[in-house]
Structure 1
Amino acid sequence: MENKKSVTHVILTGGIGSRLWPLSRKSQPKQYLSLFEGKSLFELTVERNRTIADTVMVIGNVDNCHLSQKVMDKAKLPYVNIVESTPRNTAAAIAFAAFASDPDTILIVTPSDHIIDAMHKYEEAIHDAITKAEDGFIVTFGIKPTKPETGYGYIERKGDNVVSFREKPNQITAMNFISRGNFLWNSGMFCFKASVFLEELKAFQPEVYEKSKIAWDNNKEGVLDLELSLEIPSISVDYAVMERSKKIKVVAADFVWSDLGSFESVYDYLVSKGHPVDKNGNMAIGTTNYTAFVGTKDTIFVFTEDANLILKKKSSQDVKYVYNALEKEQSPLLN
C-alpha cells in the first residue's frame, strides 16, 4: 500500500488591506476583523482546510503573529509558526514554507483573507490540484469569472495549461477577457511539492533562493533574523516563478470566491448575508446607529471610533489613495 501523502496548508498572513481602511489597520489587518458572521477571514481560512491538510503552517510577521496565535489557540490547532522580521514579498515567504517542509510534502498555499463558498467544489479543486502536484507540476487556481472585474489579475489558459498571466486590466480589457471565454481570475492560491517549488525558484531567482535559505537556516524557533531577511530581494511569487516556469498547470474552479479586497466586494458579501441596505443601495458598516442617506445611491458609510469613510461603491479601488496619503503623513489613524 502506498504511503499517504503528507499535505501542509500554508497560510500567508501578510498584507494590511489598505483598500479597507479605516476598518483595516496595521494593528488589526482585514484578515483578523470579525466581520464575517462573527468570524474573521483568517479563522475561516483555517477551518476551510482542516480536513484537507495534515499540518498547518502560518507565515506571519512580528506585527500580526499574536493575532494568528489567538485564533489557532481558540481552534485548539497545533501549527508550524514562521515569523518574518520584515516583509520580503511572497516568493521568500513561500520559500520559507518549502524549506520548513520535507521535500515530498505537498503544500497548499493560500492567502488568509479570502471568502470561499460552495465547499464541495472547493474540495474537488484542491484534490485535482494535489493530483497534479504529485506529478511534479506547480498548480495555480483560476476562478471562472462572473463579471469583468478590474481588481483581479487574470490567467489566460488552454485546457489546464497556462498561456499567460495578465495584470489587473482596465474595464474594456476585462470585458474583452470575459468575452473570449478562456480567462480566469488569478486567485493567488497554489499547490506543489516543496522540492519542485524550490528547484524552480533556484533556477529562476537564485539570489532569492540562496538568501532565503540562509535566513531560514538561521531561524530561531521559526523567527527569522532581520539583517539576514533584509538581504533577500523582495519579489512576488508570480514574477519569480509562476510567469517563468514550464511546470505550471491551472485548475479552473467555479467555487464562489472573493478576495474581499475592496468595499465593493465586502458590500456584495454583506448583502448576500442579509446586511441592511436602503432602497437606493446605500449601506452603513460598523455602526448600528440610525444612518440616513439623502440624495445618494450605492454609497457606503464606514464608521470607526476615530475615522469615518464615505464612498461611492464603484470608487472602492481608490480608498488606497487615502491610505497612501495618511501613510505619507505618518498618521496614527493607520495604526
Structure 2
Amino acid sequence: MKIVMLSGGPGRRVWPLSDTSMPKQYLPVLDGPGGEPESMVQRMWRQLLAADLSESASVATSSEQAGLIKRQLGMHVPLLAEPAQRGSYSAALLAASYYYSVAGVSPHETIIMLPVDMYVSGDFFHCIRSLPKLLRESEAPVMMVGMAAEYPGTRYGYILADQAELGEESGSYDWKVNDCREKPGEQEAEELVKAGALWNSGVYAIRLDFLLGRLSNAALPVDYEELYKQYYQLPKLSLEDGLACDASVEKTVIRYDGLWVNLNTWRTLSERIAMP
C-alpha cells in the first residue's frame, strides 16, 4: 500500500482567512494534542505517524507549496511535487508514474488517495489499513469510502450504491457503486439523502495498474520524467470528476461510521478552530 496525501489545492474556500499565498490546509487553526495550534497538513501527518503509516506515505502538492510543506512537516518529508495545479486526478496519475517507473513499485500495488482537508479520529486509519485487502476481494479497480449523509448538504459528493441503506442487516462489507453526484443543488441533495446515498469522503483505493492504464489510454507516458515534462497535457480534473463520476469506471464503496468532517467550508472549519 502507498498513501498519497493530497495537499496541492489552492485552498481559497475560506477566504479571506486563506489565499493563494497561504492555502487553508496550512493555516495553524486546529487544536493540537498538547493544545498548540496545528494545520490540516500537520494534523493528518501526525495521525499517519501515530498509525505507523507514514513510511508508506508521500505528500502530493504543487511546486509552489513545497516550501510550506517542508516548513510544517520537516525537510525530509517525502514529496510528490506537481509542476502545476491540475487537480487531484492528474496528481494521482503523476504519483502512479513515479511509484511505477522510479520507485519500482509493483503494478499490483494499491494506491490510497487521502485528501488533507478531513478531520478524522485515529480509528479512521484502521479503515485505511483494510482498503488494500478489500479492494483485492472486490475485483474492482477503485474502492471509495462513504459516510452516512447527516443532512442534504450541497458541498458534498454523493454515492449511490446497490444497497443504498447499507444497514447492519447486510452481510456484505462493500457495495457496487451505481452512481455518483458531485455537489448537487438543494433539491437533488434532499432526494439523494432520501434514497440512502452516502457522502463521498474523497478517499480512494486504486489499483496502480489501473492508473497506469489510464495514462496509456490517453496516449501519455507512464515514465515519470516524461510525464512530468508533459504534465500540462493532463486534464484539470478532480478525482471526483475523473473517476467517481465516470460511469465507465467500475467502483465499490465501503461505509465508515466514525468521526469524519470535511473542512472545506467556513461552517465546518469554524467548528474546529482552536479557541485562545
Structure 2 length-normalised TM: 0.81
Output the amino acid matched with 2:44.
T
Contact (CA 8 Å) 2:9, 2:87: kept in 1 or not? no
Give per-residue Cα distances to partners, 1:225-249, cap 9 Å, x unaligned.
4xx2222232333333332344311
Output the amino acid matched with 2:80.
I
- Residue 231 of structure 1 aligns with which residue? 233
1: CA distance, partners of 2:272 / 2:24: 14
- Residue 133 of structure 1 aligns with which residue? 135
- Residue 194 of structure 2 aligns with which residue? 179
- Residue 207 of structure 2 aligns with which residue? 193
Larger Rg: 1
- Residue 220 of structure 2 aligns with which residue? 210
Alignment length, in residue pairs? 249
- Residue 61 of structure 1 aligns with which residue? 62
Larger deviation: 94-103 or 125-134?
A: 125-134
Q: Secondary structure at the match of 2:91?
A: helix
- The equivalences for 1:238-257 within 5 A come to 238-242=240-244, 243-257=246-260
Q: Secondary structure at the match of 2:125?
A: helix
- Residue 111 of structure 2 aligns with which residue? 107
1: CA distance, partners of 2:202 / 2:240: 9
Give per-residue Cα distances to partners, 1:8-57, cap 9 Å, x unaligned.
21011121222201111211111011000111101111122232353221
Contact (CA 8 Å) 2:182, 2:240: kept in 1 or not? no
Distance verdict in 2 for CA 1:247–1:53, change over 3 Å: farther
Distance verdict in 2 for CA 1:91–1:114, change over 3 Å: same
2: CA distance, partners of 1:34 / 1:104: 38
2: CA distance, partners of 1:171 / 1:15: 25
Q: Secondary structure at the match of 1:19?
A: coil
- The equivalences for 1:81-100 within 5 A come to 81-100=79-98
Output the amino acid matched with 2:209.
S
Q: CA deviation at 1:96?
A: 1.3
Q: CA deviation at 1:202?
A: 4.3
2: CA distance, partners of 1:49 / 1:108: 13
- The equivalences for 1:1-335 within 5 A come to 7-37=1-31, 38-50=37-49, 51-52=52-53, 54-73=55-74, 78-101=76-99, 102=105, 103-117=107-121, 119-120=122-123, 122-135=124-137, 136-137=139-140, 138-159=142-163, 160-181=175-196, 183-199=197-213, 201-202=214-215, 206-207=217-218, 210=220, 213=222, 216-218=224-226, 224-225=228-229, 228-242=230-244, 243-270=246-273, 275=275
Contact (CA 8 Å) 2:145, 2:200: kept in 1 or not? yes
1: CA distance, partners of 2:231 / 2:97: 15
1: CA distance, partners of 2:268 / 2:243: 29
- Structure 1: runs of 5+ lacking an equivalent: 1-6, 276-287, 289-335
Q: RMSD of the TM alignment (CA)?
A: 2.3
Q: CA deviation at 1:131?
A: 1.3
2: CA distance, partners of 1:44 / 1:24: 18
Contact (CA 8 Å) 1:55, 1:79: kept in 2 or not? no
1: CA distance, partners of 2:48 / 2:252: 21
Q: CA deviation at 1:267?
A: 2.3
Q: Secondary structure at the match of 2:108?
A: coil
Q: Secondary structure at the match of 2:94?
A: helix
- Structure 2: runs of 5+ lacking an equivalent: 32-36, 100-104, 164-174
Q: CA deviation at 1:254?
A: 1.6
Higher RCO (C-alpha under 8 Å, 6+ residues apart): 2
Identity percentage over the alignment? 22
